[in-house]
Amino acid sequence: MYTYPLSSRILLAIDCIIFGFDGKDIKLLLIKRNFEPEKGNWSLMGGFLKEEEDLEAGAGRILHDLTGLTNIYVEQLEVFGKINRDPAERTVSVVFFALIQIDEHDAEAVKSHNASWISLDKRPQLIFDHNQMVDRAIEHLRYKAALHPIGFELLPENFTIPQLQKLYEAIYNTPLDRRNFSRKLLSTGLLIDTGFKNNNSATKKATLYRLDTIRYKEKFHAFWNFMPDAMKTPQS
């Protein structure tokens, strides 16, 4: 078998940006590093790609190791490869972002990694170029959430329209018109009325809906236009 001559050693890492929603704020799952370099500082969850893995499998392994979850929304975002981005050794990082329901993660796994959920507006300084990674992920989340129904990935199985509106207000950090949002949302045909009311929150007596998962999968790439054009963040 022919092999390419090795001219230099370059490590390939995967960094995962994990978003969750607590009913009020969009949060990031961050770890406090217990190893050098940058020991004691905040970081994204990451690791090196194994020889037997493709990129998606590597991202899935890292996400499962931290959250205990599988079959979650994961998307490859970007590659970061500046020469001096990691002071220890030349490392190229492939960045993924994931959307999970906070209540479903494995709290013990999170604790064992010295990880915490932190609101975006309270985000600490992160190591290396991780702040830049998060900024790009936020831009992409806002762009994608305007056009495709990925916001549902952050909600429990049954939810109200006011809860979904709070989610989108958190994503865009701006208030939304209740009637226009509700009208646009119902017009998608993505919601199924459960026949029950929400009796356990500020949105008392609001109708509980669940996602039509078949239509969601079939029509995911349709242009839903949830948000006003002015609120979409264009891709660079």
* Dist. CA 28–CA 7, nearest whole Å: 38
CATH 3.90.79.10: which residues of the chain?
Answer: 11-146
Tens digit of pLDDT for each residue in 194-227? 999 887 655 557 899 999 999 998 888 877 776 6
Residue 235: pLDDT band (50, 70, 90) is: very low
**What pLDDT score does 236 carry?**
43
SS3 20: strand
CATH 1.10.10.10: which residues of the chain?
Answer: 149-231
- Its CATH architecture, for the domain 149-231, is Orthogonal Bundle (1.10)
**CA 227 to centroid of chain Cα atoms:** 19
Tens digit of pLDDT for each residue in 20-58? 999 999 999 999 999 999 999 999 999 999 999 999 999
At which residue do the structure tokens 């007596």 appear?
205
Residue 228: pLDDT band (50, 70, 90) is: low
Mean pLDDT, range 169-178, rounded to an integer: 91
The answer, yes or no, to whether residue 5 has pLDDT greater than 90, is no
**What pLDDT score does 202 carry?**
57
Are 212 and 193 in contact, with CB atoms under 8 Å apart? no
Tens digit of pLDDT for each residue in 101-151? 999 999 999 999 999 999 999 999 999 999 999 999 999 999 999 888 899
**What pLDDT score does 41 carry?**
97
**What pLDDT score does 91 carry?**
97
**What pLDDT score does 155 carry?**
94
* Dist. CA 127–CA 68, nearest whole Å: 24
Mean pLDDT, range 81-98, rounded to an integer: 96
- According to CATH, the topology of domain 11-146 is Nucleoside Triphosphate Pyrophosphohydrolase (3.90.79)
Closest CA to 123 of 24, 30, 23: 30
Other C-beta atoms closer than 10 Å to the C-beta of 72 total 17
pTM to 2 decimal places? 0.89
